[in-house]
Amino acid sequence: MIETFATPFRSLGRIASDLLFPPICTGCGVGVSQPGGLCPSCWTELRFIERPFCDVLCTPFSFDPGDGTVSADAIADPPPFERLRAVVLYDDRARRLVSALKYSDRLDLVPLMAAWMARAGRDLLDEADVIVPVPLHRMRLWRRQFNQAAELGRRIAAARGLPFAASALVRVKATRSQVGLRRSQRQSNVRGAFRLSPAGGAAIAGRRVLLVDDVFTTGATASSATKALKRAGAASVDVLTFARVAAFEG
């Protein structure tokens, strides 16, 4: 009986909230019909990654070479992780979404981005034993107050009922921002940047780990974190990100 009376009041509360704070597009701020959605303009500007793509690096193919095909880049320079999946290509609209989350405290973007990531990485999630976020250095975390990779990973883990090892991996090197660095500089910047926390080994050893981050560019960060996880005994490491660059030069 309590539920019967409470439900109409909750509905009225939602209506009042929508009148006072109408839902807006998470990408540009224009009015939309549902909270946490995108307007048609922002939706069409995002370049979603759909098959066919490289089964290892998630690089889109211009034609369908068949399931399980690996790109020339993945063959010539195999990454230490097994597979990468990403939702969109990292263009201007995707960059604005990521920047809003990271630098403008737009935590309202997390449910939408995490849901898309869970869909894009469903084959990885089906095999994962534990989800681990790429960590921030403690000084950067203190300045930003939250780790966007951890927020995304926590949401995905909860939705799929998977263990979430938020602090298993630690960033021990205060690396400079990767923005603007050449490939070799990015690799040097994050070399030796990660290690397992004292309690992290128990969560990682023998497990199939899904490493979560917001953006994949050259793969330097994901590779460095993967090597730390494998040194700690991870059985395998896959990587799931919101966006990945189409190609990286330099």
Residues 145 and 179 in one domain: yes
Residues 39 and 55 in one domain: no
What pLDDT is attached to residue 73?
A: 92
Residues 15 and 89 in one domain: no
What pLDDT is attached to residue 12?
A: 42
Residues 33 and 97 in one domain: no
DSSP assignment of 92-139 equals HHHHHHHHHHHHS--GGGHHHHHHHHHHHTHHHHHH-SEEEEPPPPHH
| 186 in any annotated domain | yes
With cut-offs at 50, 70 and 90, classify the pLDDT of residue 18: very low
Q: Does position 15 have pLDDT exceeding 70, yes or no?
A: no
Q: How many domains does the chain have?
A: 2
Average pLDDT over every residue of 33-50: 82
Tokens of 119: 């869909």
Range of the domain at 166: 51-244
Q: Does position 206 have pLDDT exceeding 70, yes or no?
A: yes
What span, in angstroms and rounded, lies between the C-alpha atoms of 106 and 87?
19
Q: Does position 210 have pLDDT exceeding 50, yes or no?
A: yes
More confident residue, 161 or 35: 161
Residues 11 and 56 in one domain: no
| 26 in any annotated domain | yes
Query: Which one-letter DSSP state was computed for residue 245?
Result: -
CA distances to 24, 120, 133, 205, 224 from 160, rounded to whole Å, are 27, 13, 15, 21, 26
- The backbone region for 101, taken as left when phi is positive above 0, alpha when psi lies in -120 to 50, beta otherwise, is alpha
Residues 41 and 75 in one domain: no
Residues 22 and 105 in one domain: no
Average pLDDT over every residue of 214-226: 93
| 249 in any annotated domain | no
Average pLDDT over every residue of 98-121: 91
Q: Does position 144 have pLDDT exceeding 50, yes or no?
A: yes
Q: Does position 19 have pLDDT exceeding 90, yes or no?
A: no
Residues 99 and 142 in one domain: yes
Query: Which one-letter DSSP state was computed for residue 159?
Result: H
Query: What pLDDT digit, counting tens, does each position of 1-10 carry?
Result: 434 444 444 4
Tokens of 64: 């369908």
Main-chain dihedrals φ then ψ at residue 29, nearest 5 degrees: 95, 0
Q: Does position 122 have pLDDT exceeding 60, yes or no?
A: yes
Residues 150 and 26 in one domain: no
Residues 134 and 185 in one domain: yes
Other Cβ atoms closer than 10 A to 23: 14
| 250 in any annotated domain | no
- For the chain, the average pLDDT equals 83
Q: Under DSSP, is residue 48 helix (H, G, I), strand (E, B) or coil?
A: strand
Residues 158 and 39 in one domain: no
What span, in angstroms and rounded, lies between the C-alpha atoms of 174 and 190?
9
Q: Under DSSP, is residue 215 helix (H, G, I), strand (E, B) or coil?
A: strand
More confident residue, 84 or 201: 84
